[in-house]
Structure 1
């Protein structure tokens, strides 16, 4: 019997926690970290790597991916859908620059109610969506990397240039947070029978295994499935490559609780047909058979 793919995730978490170097980091919280790790997930059977050793709020992850694909960089559409995962960065900036100790709910309410406030304090700078859909070239022209990727997969599947990235060196300083899941590449495998198979690699320069990874790996798998559906390909394998793989020192409860649990079967993902890659909504995404252990709360390091 093949080992459960989530076992490799837990093994990596254990290795980071027990053998990682303790380091002071940008946030001041401190981490245990290892450099260089690889995980592989087979998507060909319709399963999706949605971790089961703690509940993952997958609907928020779907909304985040759709937000990335839209090219938006404001937290406003996320907040309007009840998604709070990006609020901490602009909230922290507002507190630092104004000296006002506003709580998150009040801050988000102002983002929704006040256009000028949202424009000044709700935009994250040229983060993921901007780079994916509107990369600014030196000649002033913008480049839609995602549209080019879809067109390339259809027109030239054997190309070795099916790549998009968020790591725009010229604009890193303007971003609330430089891209952690930064570069994606895809590979089309010809098959004698049935549709050709689409596999992908995600290179992640920085990975918070406790809070970030579960969202990152699920969204990468969802994006691969969306791309496969839009290009007439079958889903293959998702390979994850982490560079600085870390756990925060204040996540001991999360790590120890998660490592004590046995993985359960990964759920199935089904996608309803969408007119384009940019036409997906939450209603297009169906997850069945998801039976996770309870959620584990842990603080976000900003």
Structure 2
């Protein structure tokens, strides 16, 4: 008769509550699935499309044209701002990056309801995947921006390029933090999508994308100016200006005062957004399958 060995309790793997993971850290362990989600999102988005990824050039190009005619020509901002085209488009690139991540991340869990209800996987994968999808669309815009800046004599140094990278990191962190928060709330209350749409509409005007920072400083109370500077998108857009527009104009008074300090604050605020977003997401994700 064969002896059956028994496993002691000390040899058993530690049990953990189902559906509870390591949050954003789990994304690193599920990198392969993250790549699949990104590919799936891109295929679904351009299924049946004639232009496909060329829309990454057409949409920002049309947006730039409308804003340039309205603000640059009609309001004559192009006369008071050197290389206004570069100034405008560098801000558009940053704000589009934010809008795409935040907007799509908010809808990501609901749009992947079938996966959420059928299998367990880190739910954070859905909002995080939208960062990489946005990066696919960001690349052609940056290429166009670099080409346009070169026409105006763009000669960036290492600090300028670093500023551009920091700007994109700030935007990605802030958008992901808010995306985690609102994607979780959106599962319970679909009104969250409409709130985010309003937020995205205001975001373009609440940062120096279409106008220069000194117009805000000279027309609002000082406390409003400080609040405006606390907006991480304000620092991110100005860092993009420092990366692409400033090396093409070299205006010594073109940048807002204390930009490095405001940039550090923007990084801190974005980090807090990540923490709050992850906390709310973790608390609510246990209800996702039931609510969906």
Tell me the TM-score range normalised by the shorter chain. Answer: under 0.3
TM norm structure 1: 0.23
**Higher Cα Rg: structure 1 or 2?**
2
TM norm structure 2: 0.24
Structure holding more helix per residue: 2
